[in-house]
Structure 1
Amino acid sequence: MSKPSDVFADPEAVSRYAEGPPRLVPGFADLQRMARLLIAERAPQDARVLVVGAGGGLELKVFAESQPGWQFDGIDPSAAMLKLAEGTLGPLVPRVRLHPGYIDVAPEGPFDAATCLLTLHFVAPEERLRTVREIRRRLKPGAPLVVAHLSFPQGEPERALWLSRYASFAISSGVDPASATNARTAIAAQLPILAPEQDEAILRDAGFTDVSLFYTGFTFRGWVAYAAR
């Protein structure tokens, strides 16, 4: 199975990264905006926010532009993607500290909120639980965590149907049909995708309460949950 650092090690892939999410993730811009609004429900104006999987800087830019008082720590295993994030952020960079690596390199906090967008589907279930537990450990009690990633039924024939829908959406967004088919095949073979009920169980087992589904976009789902008090 590929690690996130392997997937985003190719310089050409990194340079084209910003083109991908809007074509592959239904309502990508709105997903980022909803994540920011869910954080703002509870986070103070001077919040410190942990962004897991920050490479590329797309959500960091949206959050920072909308909330001038927030400060950010972003982690990502790909140094090339963090470099891209710096370029994406531009003059907003002074409000962001970027850390190369996985969850263990994240500062201890405590943070007022955290996000993990389009990342956890790269992580095996056991490591996914550990990762979410480590995020929880770094959050203040009651702080929100917003996650979104590939999550759909894993029994057949439902799994194959949802993968076909993933490819169909990509093609309808302008992705070359052969590339979309190859991506579908790679996802099916390499990514440890879980069913939605399994993803929700991981959040609860990691120490989060009030787990709520706020986003469904074909093969992608998103939840908000709160660090247990």
Structure 2
Amino acid sequence: MKPRNPTPPAFGAGHASTYAAGTPRKVPGFDGLHAMTSQLLAEGVKEDGKILVLGAGGGLELKALAENHPGWTFDGVDPSADMLAAAKDTIGPHAARIRLHHGYIADAPDGPFDGAVCLLTFHFIPREHRLETLRQIRRRLAPGAPFVLAHISFAQTEPERSQSIARHIAFGGGDPQNQAARSAIATNLTILAPEEEEAMLKAAGFTDITLFYAGLSFRGWVCYA
């Protein structure tokens, strides 16, 4: 039976309409993250490579990768129809090289893909679905193919946890002392410590796991199938 993850409740039309403008302001080094992702994938992906993008709603990483690599083709997967509609608007002239799929990783084509990306998505996936999701990604990759993963991850011990939450809120333009915002992070996101993230990648069968990006509350890794 294919695993199904619950759809995050906050990805309706309202979120989709503000995603392209709002997200780059909330993620430190957003454009640099896309540039590094493109570079790291290109180290192991041929000029006509096939890329899997999990959490493709909004389309920002699809657009960036398609612009940098005109020979690549993409399959993007997202559980939010509204976010996929936003992605269609964002990818514009690159649409002929991009197939969008409504659903979860189990709804993605089997591949094999030459590389995979999951940016700013995994903190919405419950802990109990993380490892199987990673295994499903790896199963769709060609041997040795690169996988780039980046999302919110910070220490879950105190005082580091509270400090990271406060910095996350402040960078996004909010009041770091706002208790409602703090509670929203705890309620809506599943945040793991970086060492637990790396352990899950290893358990899923990925190798050569390397941290390449750290921006306040965000971390990014590159690893290989």
Asked if TM exceeds 0.5, the reply is yes
Q: 2:93 aligns with which of 67, 91, 114?
A: 91
String of CA shifts for 1:108-166, please: whole Å, max 9, x gaps.
00000000000011112220100010000000000000000000000112111110011
Counterpart of 2:220 in 1: which secondary structure?
strand
Within 2, Cα distance between the matches of 1:12 and 1:126? 28
Does the CA contact (< 8 Å) of 2:8 and 2:124 recur in 1? Answer: no
The offset of 1:169, in angstroms, is 1.1
Does the CA contact (< 8 Å) of 2:149 and 2:221 recur in 1? Answer: yes
Does the CA contact (< 8 Å) of 1:208 and 1:226 recur in 2? Answer: yes
Does the CA contact (< 8 Å) of 1:209 and 1:226 recur in 2? Answer: yes
Within 1, Cα distance between the matches of 2:8 and 2:188? 14
Q: Runs of 5+ in structure 1 lacking a partner? A: none
The offset of 1:23, in angstroms, is 1.4
* Percent identical: 55
The offset of 1:184, in angstroms, is 3.4
The offset of 1:183, in angstroms, is 3.7
Q: How does 1:108-187 map to 2 (within 5 A)?
A: 108-171=110-173, 177=175, 182-187=180-185
Counterpart of 1:148 in 2: which secondary structure?
strand
Alignment-derived partner of residue 191 in structure 2: 193
Q: How does 1:208-219 map to 2 (within 5 A)?
A: 208-219=206-217
Normalized against structure 2, the TM-score is what? Answer: 0.94
Alignment-derived partner of residue 60 in structure 2: 58
The offset of 1:185, in angstroms, is 2.6
The offset of 1:4, in angstroms, is 4.7
Counterpart of 2:9 in 1: which secondary structure?
helix
Within 1, Cα distance between the matches of 2:112 and 2:89? 27
Normalized against structure 1, the TM-score is what? Answer: 0.92
From the superposition, tell whether residues 20 and 132 of structure 1 become closer, same or farther in structure 2 (CA, over 3 Å): same
Counterpart of 1:110 in 2: which secondary structure?
coil
Runs (4+) off by over 2 Å: 2-5, 180-185
Q: 1:8 aligns with which of 11, 20, 23?
A: 11
Q: Runs of 5+ in structure 2 lacking a partner? A: none
RMSD of aligned alpha carbons: 1.7
